Amino acid sequence: MTRPSRPTQTAGPLLLLLLLGSTASPSSAAATAPPSTFDCAKVEFDGHTYDFHDLAGPHTIVTTEYAAPTYRNTTYTIDLCGPLKRKGDIAKEERCPDVCAIKHRFDPKTGKSVTDSVIPIVIGHGNDHAAFNWGIKRIAEGRDTKDKKNDGLRLTLQSDTTYQQRPQSAVISLRCDPEKVGTEGEWEQKLVEYEPAKKNSKRGVETQEDTKKEEKDPVDISQPEHQLRKQDAALLWEGYKREQVVDGTETKEIDTLYLTWYTKHACRAEGENPPTDGGKESKHWGFFTWVFIIAFLAVASYLIFGSWLNYHRYGARGWDLLPHSDLIRDIPYLLRDVIRRVLNTVQSSGSRGGYSAV
């Protein structure tokens, strides 16, 4: 069975080709926010500009699950920078109307595969399908900023598409990895096939002993959906999950595709890295700054309260309003006397070589 490769028909703004299950009859629902164009070459966020244009083109993830006697292969394809295009020789009922999911069922006994479903995920607006609903936020950073993989962005994509009356969305965690471009460890544009299980090489047929053993010790060989991942894969599948969200007074279900993408293009410039103290220094004042502020507020509060008390209790005016007004008025003279004494001491000790007159 071969996986759909590069196509010839515009499919959508963000290209998520999913081969996923059950018969699909997509419908449309109202969008939750005004659609806008996502410019992958200039993503501005939090005072930084990210350029993902090197990731343009289809990028593929393959997952598989086994429920005896068939395999189900799912291919997820994403293009951050343009619409998904499919070849013209694809059957009409298997073509995706933009971003979609297509699931194939493969029977190892017959060696044939059939399409189970076509599920739309994100469909762009406009003639060029370039506008859709998207949001972005920073992934929480770890305290050890030397580990750059703590840095990154979380991109959420959604249109007014529904499948079985459930809204569809995609969440892509773009993680910083200075050693990865983001194209490593990808599958070619074709579905992964499975060879039929080999029979006993010595006998070629099952014996009565084999049959008794199977009946005695049944084994569940079914496997849940998991990614067929290469060792150096940069694009990882985290799940296609059905979740419940609260919308006003209603609780709705939504299907979300989760991907993690390790790439150097998600890293901030060296000069833009947060401080090595865990990102606290630039955002918070130091201990002595707080001591000064608290002392200043305490003195100001004391003077204001004392002035108010002197005014209402004694009818004081002017300098007499201030508590200890005599001391405050004498402060300039006290400072002058202190400075004069210091200067006299320095001058007298210098003229006599440090000795006092007898």
Amino acid residing at 203: R
Residue 229 and residue 227: Cα distance in Å, rounded? 5
Answer whether residue 185 shows pLDDT above 60.
Answer: yes
For 48-63, b/e burial (b = at least 16 CB within 10 A) is eebebeebeebbbbbb
In a shared domain, residues 247 and 114: yes
In a shared domain, residues 42 and 136: yes
In a shared domain, residues 265 and 315: no
Retrieve residue 295's tokens. Answer: 């002392």
In a shared domain, residues 116 and 248: yes
Domain that includes residue 309, residue range: 287-351
In a shared domain, residues 268 and 291: no
pLDDT of amino acid 193: 41
Domain end, chosen from 244, 272, 300, is at 272
Choose the weakest-confidence range: 56-60, 151-155, 350-354.
350-354
**Domain CATH number, residue 22:** 2.70.130.10
In a shared domain, residues 300 and 161: no
- In angstroms, the first-to-last Cα distance of the chain is 114
In a shared domain, residues 305 and 263: no
Residue 115 within a domain:
yes
pLDDT of amino acid 192: 40
Structure confidence by residue, pLDDT tens digits, 85-138: 666 666 665 666 556 677 888 877 787 878 787 777 777 655 555 567 888 998
Residue 4 within a domain:
no
Structure confidence by residue, pLDDT tens digits, 47-90: 888 999 999 887 878 888 888 778 888 877 787 887 766 666 66
Q: Quick check: 307 and 301 in contact, CB under 8 A? A: no
Banded model confidence at residue 15, pLDDT cuts 50, 70, 90 = very low
Residue 356 within a domain:
no
Domain count along the chain: 2
Residue 201 within a domain:
no
Answer whether residue 150 shows pLDDT above 70.
Answer: no
Residue 125 within a domain:
yes
In a shared domain, residues 21 and 86: yes
pLDDT of amino acid 18: 41
Residue 280 within a domain:
no
In a shared domain, residues 130 and 54: yes
Structure confidence by residue, pLDDT tens digits, 238-297: 998 888 888 788 888 998 889 999 999 998 865 454 444 444 444 457 888 999 999 999
Residue 250 within a domain:
yes
In a shared domain, residues 29 and 161: yes
In a shared domain, residues 173 and 314: no
Residue 211 within a domain:
no
In a shared domain, residues 268 and 307: no
pLDDT of amino acid 14: 41
Give whole-number Cα distances, 36 to 51, 132, 135, in Å. Answer: 18, 5, 10
Work out the angle at residue 92's Cα, subtended by the Cα atoms of residues 88 and 97, and round it to the nearest 5 degrees: 85
Q: Quick check: 181 and 234 in contact, CB under 8 A? A: yes
